[in-house]
Amino acid sequence: QTVVTQEPSFSVSPGETVTLTCGLSTGSVSTSNYPSWYQQTPGQTPRALIYTTNTRSSGVPDRFSGSILGNKAALTITGAQAEDESDYYCVLYMGGGISVFGGGTKLTVL
Partner 1 sequence: QVHLQESGPGLVKPSQTLSLTCSVSGASINSGGYYWSWIRQHPGKGLEWIGYIYYSGSTYYNPSLKSRLTISIDKSKNQFSLKLSSVTAADTAVYYCARDQNGHSSYDYWGQGTLVTVSS
Chain residues in the site for partner 1 (CB under 8 A): 1, 34, 36, 38, 40, 45-46, 48, 51-52, 57-58, 87, 89, 91-93, 96-104
Helix (H, G, I), strand (E, B) or coil at 83: helix
Q: How far apart are CA 21 and CA 73, in angstroms?
A: 6
Question: Closest approach of Cβ 44 to partner 1, in Å?
Answer: 9
Which CB atom, from 13 or from 52, has the smaller least distance to partner 1?
Answer: 52
- Nearest approach in angstroms of CB 81 to partner 1 is 23
C-alpha dihedral (44, 2, 35, 43), degrees to nearest 10:
0
Specify which residues 19 forms β-bridges with: 76
Q: Least distance to partner 1 from the beta carbon of 57, Å? A: 7
